[in-house]
Amino acid sequence: MPVAVIDIGTNTLLLLIVDEAMHPLADLCRFGRLGKGLDATGRLADDAIAASLEICREYRKVMDDHGVAQPIVIATQASREAKNAAAFLGPAEQILGAPIQVIAGEREAELAALAVARTFPELGAARYLVVDVGGGSTEIITVDAGRVVARTSVPIGAVRLTERHLRHDPPLAPEIAALTADIDRHLAPLELPRSVPVIGTAGTATTLAAVKLGLAHYDPVAVTGLRISRDTVNVLHARLLAASVVERKAIPGIEPQRADVIAAGTAIFARILQRIDAPVLITCDRGIRWGLAYEAMSTGGAAGAS
């Protein structure tokens, strides 16, 4: 029977339903912006809770249509951090008909690494860095010959850094400098491998791929495995910082709901690539939600489906 997994993040809520052969029956992304204002207030905003609960209702209907009784549901940085997380999690559990696991950043990292390993088996003998830039946190995982040798989660993400630093549209030079310094400060203590490929998962990475390809309609197959040089990432980063939100919305490949935060998310990739002298960014549509699905299938998680 099909298995459904839901990833409730700071910016998006993702629903993936797969069959027993791991073919996607539904793969949906909706923007709840659950972590809006969280960096400043420490709380989930009422309108963000309402929007995210409405998405949960939509997802419940989709799962009913596919005959899924109980999904596997995780929540990440916003739900870890918010003082009033229960105001969202309680109602969401009732709507979805399943408990919500609020997972640690290290667990996010493990799931991202699993998804990448399954997606790119040809990298089995290689050393590489997996980077999952979310709305509120970024997971960084070092993989060597198929083994996770280091993993960490740092509290910087596309939504958080935009709200913290980029107050003008387009952002001013001092704001960009503060953004860069903040990212570098969080990366400085980390021991990262040098001159290895970076595998980028989640929406910022796949949006960069979609922009490079000029996609009018998002294509997960086209963006998965796309190789983007460090210089090209820097060019895209500069272009996004120089554009207003309205101008970004007009760029093929950028979802309108991501246009205001994509520049800050791209900055994280640009700084990591620069810091480790990475030769290339390889983008991967299959992120944490796929890691959960792979794990569920391998451990008999399909028992949760009707």
Every domain range in the chain assigned CATH 3.30.420.150: 106-288
Q: What is the Cα–Cα distance from 124 to 209, expressed in whole angstroms?
A: 23
Token pair 């490949």 is found at 253
Residue 298 pLDDT level (bands cut at 50, 70, 90): confident
Please name the helix (run of DSSP H) or strand (run of DSSP E) that holds residue 88, with its range, or none.
helix 86-96
Q: Is the pLDDT of residue 303 over 60?
A: no
What is the DSSP track for 193-246? -SS--EEEEHHHHHHHHHHHHT-SS--HHHHTT-EEEHHHHHHHHHHHHHS-HH
Q: What long-range pairs does 232-237 form, CB within 8 A, spacing at least 24?
A: 233/208, 233/266, 233/269, 233/270, 233/273, 233/281, 234/270, 234/274, 236/208, 236/211, 236/212, 236/266, 237/263, 237/266, 237/267, 237/269, 237/270
Residues 234-281 pLDDT 10s: 999 999 999 999 999 999 999 999 999 999 999 999 999 999 999 999
Distances (CA, A) of 264 to 112, 136, 197: 21, 11, 21
- For residues 121-129, give the mean pLDDT: 94
Every domain range in the chain assigned CATH 3.30.420.40: 3-104
CB 88 within 8 A of CB 53: yes
Q: Is the pLDDT of residue 305 over 90?
A: no
Q: What is the mean pLDDT of the chain?
A: 94
Residue 106 pLDDT level (bands cut at 50, 70, 90): confident
Q: What is the Cα–Cα distance from 98 to 164, expressed in whole angstroms?
A: 34
CB 269 within 8 A of CB 222: no
Sheet containing strand 138-144, strands side by side: 147-154, 138-144, 127-133, 198-201, 280-284, 227-229
Exposure of 101 in the CB half-sphere (CA atoms within 13 A) = 13
CATH code of domain 3-104: 3.30.420.40
User: How many other CB atoms are found less than 10 A from the CB of residue 65?
Assistant: 11
Share of the chain above pLDDT 90, in %: 92
Of 62, 63, 87, the C-alpha closest to 75 is 87
Residues 114-124 pLDDT 10s: 999 999 999 99
CB 197 within 8 A of CB 175: no
Q: Is the pLDDT of residue 306 over 50?
A: no
CATH code of domain 106-288: 3.30.420.150
Of 144, 119, 114, 41, the C-alpha closest to 295 is 114
Share of the chain above pLDDT 70, in %: 98
User: How many other CB atoms are found less than 10 A from the CB of residue 41?
Assistant: 12
Residue 202 pLDDT level (bands cut at 50, 70, 90): confident
Q: What is the Cα–Cα distance from 102 to 8, expressed in whole angstroms?
A: 9
Residue 1 pLDDT level (bands cut at 50, 70, 90): confident
**What is residue 172's DSSP assignment?**
P
| Structure token digits, residue 124 | 């089995």
Exposure of 105 in the CB half-sphere (CA atoms within 13 A) = 24
